[in-house]
């Protein structure tokens, strides 16, 4: 019986390997043999989760043709990977990826660092801040006071607690978007919302248009759902979307869904203006595409004078095109797993009906806590504290990176939680691996792209400040030196890896 559970084609693997571009070697720097470079490239793809564990690799001859190298080079690379524990083979079954004994399985998204590693590793992988106190404690206490009547019920509310649905609807109405509670479904975080939307509209094999780059965890969720991702490049800098390109993709590819983050885009921090929003909604309507607007960052403007455009759904008054997703997890706390969907009532009814075969509903106590925050003004106070903290962290991280890594390029966004950084020609994948060695965890650019794009980037979140931001930049500089000197990506694999 074969030990592999998926397969990677020769062309796909060649594209992924081709994205790993390093800075040209300096004087006196010895390049590794071709087989060693190939083995290191495949190992990096496995460690980052971009090639799954237990994925069948192409036959030696197929990969050699795709890479235009000799079969001997591929055979030697496979043998090196077998010796290091990253490849297993059996006659008649082929070769498939593995990880050495004792190494954790790499994740394909951006999971938080385990608590036991927090003392030795600076975590720049997860764009989330600690809970804003005392508002978290007060919200939980308020929820407990409201709990007794609900405890006498079955506790299953597939559409969400009526009180919270009404409160969320009122908040949209206050923003100038008339909304009824029947247009709201409460979910388990934004991820739960988008998962439900993808299963309702997407289906296995359906095309989904996504920004390029886009949020890594959402991209992986869509891949796991069997979607065919259609990337659409962002406009230059922080100017939002290239709507003409979007219109062309929607017209030619006819994707069932388009997923966008218009408010302080993750990872670039771009903010789409009203004209871009209007034109994109028009393009989606013309193409018959469901436009999923992720608003999870919409309240995280950080600079004075930022004028927030109207929500994307404001340009779809009939509610036939735009499905909006919101969440408490970014603006308040990632541990508060409450999200919501705003859509036409018939869409909400379909989502709720499908939920019977998924998670049935969202925890009641957390819904009551969010409702307490919304109804008492605690939300606004907590989010204001969150903005001040994120602004301070952003400014301190930006100053530290500019000082320690002057060759790295980025634009400073006016909101959100992330900095999208061009790494001066260094491989983001190799920087991520080298960072593990020196005690800083950073996600590489290809996690946010499709088929190996953005190898020359990393994402840095505004989650650390003060001395920790200084130390993070120092460790990143040390990782960059390892990559420049050829010490990353070759030889012995690191002892641990956290995706």
Within a domain: residue 103? no
Same structural domain, 271 and 164 = yes
Output the pLDDT for position 422.
92
Pick from 377, 401, 436: which residue ends a domain?
A: 377
Domain at 53, CATH number: 1.10.10.10
Domain that holds residue 66: 6-97
Within a domain: residue 460? yes
Same structural domain, 433 and 477 = yes
Same structural domain, 248 and 326 = yes
Within a domain: residue 10? yes
Whether this model's pTM surpasses 0.85: no
213-247: b (≥16 Cβ within 10 Å) or e? bbbbbbbbbbeebebbbbbbebbeebebbbbeebb
Residue 152, CA distances (Å) to 103, 149, 157, 301, 343 in order: 47, 6, 13, 41, 30
Output the pLDDT for position 214.
94
Within a domain: residue 409? yes
Same structural domain, 74 and 119 = no
Tell me the pLDDT tens digit for each residue of 118-151: 667 899 988 999 999 999 999 999 999 999 999 9
Same structural domain, 339 and 254 = yes
Q: How far, in Å, CA of 405 to CA of 442, rounded? A: 15
Same structural domain, 28 and 138 = no
Output the pLDDT for position 118.
61
Contacts for 2-5 with beta carbons within 8 Å, 24 or more apart?
2/56, 2/90, 2/93, 2/94, 2/96, 3/54, 3/88, 3/90, 3/93, 3/96, 4/54, 4/55, 4/56, 4/93, 4/94, 4/96, 5/52, 5/54, 5/55
Single out the residue of 216, 158, 219, 208 nearest to residue 184, CA to CA: 158
Same structural domain, 371 and 390 = no
Single out the residue of 294, 498, 298, 302 nearest to residue 419, CA to CA: 302
Please give the tally of structural domains in the chain: 3
Residue 205: is it exposed, middle or buried by C-beta count within 10 angstroms (0-12/13-18/19+)?
A: exposed
Same structural domain, 340 and 286 = yes
Q: How far, in Å, CA of 118 to CA of 173, rounded? A: 42
Three-class DSSP labels, the chain: CCCCCEECCHHHHHHHHHCCCCCCCCCCCCCCCHHHHHHHHHHHHHHCCCCCCCEECCCHHHHHHHHCCCHHHHHHHHHHHHHHCCEEEECCCEEEECCCCCCCCCCCCCCCCCHHHCCCCEECCCCCCCCCCCHHHHHHHHHHHHCHHHHCCCCCCCCCCHHHHHHHHHHHHHCCCCCCHHHEEEECHHHHHHHHHHHHHHCCCCEEEEEECCCHHHHHHHHHCCCEEEEEEECCCCCCECHHHHHHHHHHHCCCEEEECCCCCCCCCCCCCHHHHHHHHHHHHHHCCEEEEECCCCCCECCCCCCCCCCHHHHCCCCCCEEEEEECCCCCCCCCCCEEEECCHHHHHHHHHHHCCCCCCCCHHHHHHHHHHHHHCHHHHHHHHHHHHHHHHHHHHHHHHHHHCCCCECCCCCECCEEEEECCCCCHHHHHHHHHHHCEECCEHHHHCCCCCCCCEEEEECCCCHHHHHHHHHHHHHHHHHHHCCCCCCCCCCCCCCC
pLDDT tens string, the chain, 499 residues long: the values are: 356 666 888 988 998 888 665 444 444 556 789 999 999 889 888 876 678 778 889 999 999 999 999 999 999 999 999 999 989 988 888 898 888 876 655 554 466 666 666 667 899 988 999 999 999 999 999 999 999 999 999 888 999 999 999 999 999 999 999 999 999 999 999 999 999 999 999 888 899 999 989 999 999 999 888 899 999 988 877 887 899 989 999 999 999 999 999 999 999 999 999 999 999 999 999 999 999 999 999 999 999 989 999 999 999 988 889 999 999 999 999 999 999 999 999 999 999 998 877 788 899 999 999 999 999 999 999 999 999 999 999 999 999 999 999 999 999 999 999 999 999 888 888 899 899 889 999 999 888 988 667 888 999 999 999 999 999 999 999 999 999 887 655 443 333 222 2
Output the pLDDT for position 29.
53
Domain at 329, CATH number: 3.40.640.10
Output the pLDDT for position 114.
65
Q: How far, in Å, CA of 453 to CA of 213, rounded? A: 8
Lookup: tokens for 219: 């991209």
Output the pLDDT for position 492.
38
Within a domain: residue 495? no
Same structural domain, 292 and 161 = yes
Same structural domain, 192 and 332 = yes
Output the pLDDT for position 30.
64
Whether 270 contacts 238, CB under 8 Å? yes
**Residue holding tokens 């590793």?**
121
Same structural domain, 181 and 240 = yes
Output the pLDDT for position 363.
93
Q: How far, in Å, CA of 373 to CA of 385, rounded? A: 14
Cβ neighbors of 362 (< 8 A, separation 6 or more) are 157, 160, 186, 187, 188, 192, 337, 338
How many CA atoms within 13 Å lie on the side-chain side of 169?
A: 18
Output the pLDDT for position 188.
94
Whether 414 contacts 181, CB under 8 Å? no
Name the CA dihedral angle for 93, 98, 100, 105, rounded to a multiple of 10 degrees.
-150
Same structural domain, 143 and 292 = yes
């Amino acid at each position: 019986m074969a030990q592999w559970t998926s397969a990677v084609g020769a062309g796909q693997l060649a594209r992924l390997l081709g994205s790993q571009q390093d800075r040209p070697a300096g004087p006196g720097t010895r390049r590794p043999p071709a087989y060693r470079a190939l083995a290191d490239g495949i190992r990096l793809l496995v460690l980052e989760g971009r090639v799954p564990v237990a994925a069948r690799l192409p036959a030696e001859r197929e990969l050699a043709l795709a890479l235009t190298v000799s079969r001997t080079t591929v055979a030697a690379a496979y043998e090196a990977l077998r010796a290091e524990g990253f490849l297993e083979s059996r006659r008649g079954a082929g070769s498939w990826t593995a990880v050495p004994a004792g190494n954790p399985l790499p994740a394909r998204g951006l999971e938080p660092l385990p608590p036991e590693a927090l003392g030795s590793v600076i975590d720049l992988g997860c764009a989330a801040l600690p809970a804003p106190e005392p508002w978290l404690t007060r919200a939980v206490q308020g929820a407990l006071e409201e709990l007794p009547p609900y405890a006498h019920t079955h506790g299953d509310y597939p559409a969400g607690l009526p009180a919270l649905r009404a409160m969320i609807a009122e908040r949209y109405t206050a923003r100038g978007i008339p909304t009824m509670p029947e247009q709201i479904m409460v979910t388990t975080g934004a991820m739960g919302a988008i998962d439900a939307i993808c299963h309702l509209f997407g289906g296995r094999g359906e095309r989904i248009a996504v920004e390029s780059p886009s949020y890594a965890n959402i991209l992986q969720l869509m891949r796991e759902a069997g979607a065919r991702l259609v990337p659409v490049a962002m406009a230059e800098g922080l100017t939002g979307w290239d709507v003409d390109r979007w219109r062309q993709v929607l017209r030619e590819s006819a994707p069932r869904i388009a997923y966008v983050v218009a408010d302080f885009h993750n990872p670039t921090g771009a903010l789409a203006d009203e004209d871009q929003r209007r034109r994109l909604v028009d393009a989606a309507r013309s193409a018959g595409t469901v436009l999923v607007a992720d608003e999870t960052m919409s309240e995280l403007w950080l600079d004075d004078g930022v004028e927030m455009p109207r929500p994307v759904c404001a340009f779809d008054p009939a509610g036939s095109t735009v499905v909006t997703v919101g969440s408490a997890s970014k603006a308040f706390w990632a541990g508060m797993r409450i999200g919501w969907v705003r859509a036409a009532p018939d869409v909400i009814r379909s989502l709720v009906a499908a939920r019977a075969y998924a998670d049935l509903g969202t925890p009641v106590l957390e819904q009551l806590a969010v409702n307490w925050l919304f109804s008492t003004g605690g939300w606004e106070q907590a989010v204001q504290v969150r903005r001040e903290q994120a602004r301070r962290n952003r400014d301190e991280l930006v100053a530290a990176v500019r000082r320690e890594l002057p060759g790295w390029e980025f634009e400073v966004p006016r909101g959100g939680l992330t900095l999208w950084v061009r790494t001066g020609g260094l491989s983001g994948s190799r920087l991520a691996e080298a960072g593990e060695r020196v005690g800083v965890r950073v996600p590489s650019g290809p996690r946010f792209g499709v088929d190996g794009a953005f190898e020359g980037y990393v994402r840095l979140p505004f989650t650390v400040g003060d001395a920790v931001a200084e130390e993070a930049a120092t460790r990143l500089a040390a990782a960059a030196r390892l990559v420049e000197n050829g010490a990353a990506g070759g030889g012995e694999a690191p002892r641990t890896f956290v995706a």
